[in-house]
Amino acid sequence: MADDVSYTIAPRGTPDAGCLDGETLIELAARADKVLAAGGEAVVTRSRTASVARLVCMHRGAELDVHVKRFNCRNWRREALLLLRPSRARRAERAAGELERLGAPTPRVLGVFERSRGLGRESYLVTLTVPGAVNLRQLILGEMTRGEMPRGEAPGGVQAAGTRGLSPALIREVGGLVGTLHAAGTYHGDLKCRNFLVAPGAGDTPRLYLTDLDRMAWGRGFSRRRAVVDLARLKVSLASVVPESWGDVWSAYLAACPGTAASAARLEGLIEGRRARKYGPEVVWD
């Protein structure tokens, strides 16, 4: 493994607080490669751009249930040009630190591993598995994948999966979370139902977690252009599974991002315009 380089990165603000050591990260990356190549129950998702495996590792004498996300080299020439920039895994780790600073829930980052591959590189993000979590699309449509909760079960406070019915409080929480981030000048870059996890929270209240953070941007104040990109993508995603929810999402967004209330009609027009230009009139995918 002479061409391999590994990094151990503690979550921002909590140096060395439970982060994995380099040897463990290297081992997890190798195990994830084998699992993703062979397939099976431990494969959560697999695609051309990124794949996820669910594994168990030992850390400080205890077993940890983790997700290992491998960001694949898609285009060697493009990857070579991006070698001077942080990898997608490192960008996701930094974004998780920003969400933690804002108090927005996201799976806890345990470490990052990067490996050079010719002129490009692959990077791995290791996060702690959120117990009982299922993504919002799966919850709405009842699409349980390997390693997820059984069909028909749902986190407390949410109707059973497959009913296409969500509690109004949960769907408003989606809009409120996005509005809170935008008000702080933070933009996800790929908002869709698959990137919201729903897990049991305190009492009967479900808790939302935001995932897939490698495109996130922050630190420049409110940007109408970035807000429109996020909201148009989210509107398309919701329209493909539960279109009647947009009104509740939009009203919760405006309440959480008060600077947009005065120009709500114009902003909604821009969102609809981008949706039509970018995604077309009839989108049935998420």
pLDDT (tens digit, 0 to 9) for every residue of the chain, 286 residues total? 445 554 544 444 444 556 888 888 989 999 999 999 999 889 999 888 899 999 999 888 889 999 999 998 766 666 655 666 788 999 999 999 999 999 999 999 999 998 876 666 789 999 999 999 999 998 888 754 434 433 334 444 444 333 344 678 889 999 999 999 999 999 999 999 999 999 988 777 789 999 999 999 998 888 899 999 999 999 999 988 888 899 999 999 999 998 887 788 898 899 888 888 887 765 545 5
pLDDT at res. 246 = 92
pLDDT in tens, 37-67: 999 889 999 888 899 999 999 888 889 999 9
Residue 62, beta-bridge partner list: 59
Nearest to 149 by CA among 92, 214, 206: 206
CB atoms near residue 73 (< 10 Å): 18
CB 109 within 8 A of CB 157: no
pLDDT at res. 154 = 45
Boundaries of every domain in the chain? 4-128, 134-279
Q: Which fold has domain 4-128?
A: Phosphorylase Kinase; domain 1 (3.30.200)
Give the separation between CA 144 and CA 134, rounded to whole angstroms.
8
pLDDT at res. 84 = 66
pTM: 0.83
CB 71 within 8 A of CB 114: no
Do the two domains 4-128 and 134-279 of this chain adopt the same fold? Answer: no
Which is the CATH superfamily of the domain at 134-279?
Answer: Transferase(Phosphotransferase) domain 1 (1.10.510.10)
CB 13 within 8 A of CB 100: yes
pLDDT at res. 79 = 60
Residue 45, beta-bridge partner list: 52
- Residue type for position 159: Q
